Amino acid sequence: ACIESFHSIIKRELVYLEKFKTREQAIQRIFEYIEVWYNRERVHSSIGYLTPVEYERRYFQVSRAKAS
């Protein structure tokens, strides 16, 4: 179910909003969307409405505190 949700999001937030001139342009924009926006900046409800970067930072901060 998770991958279907991801496909729905990428279509709604990118694919349906842009008109790509070439297949290569579409591939590049989808790559940028996933690697730059989705994985780094977009908040995710499944991790408490944090960005993945912020979630990871907090996770390692808590892990280090527990190890001390």
Contact 44, 52 (CB under 8 A): yes
Q: Please list the ranges in the chain whose pLDDT falls under 70.
A: none
Instruction: List the chain domain ranges.
Output: 2-67
pLDDT digits (tens, 9 = 90+) for 46-65: 899 999 999 999 999 999 99
pLDDT of residue 34: 93
Q: Which residue has 């279509």 as its token pair? A: 11
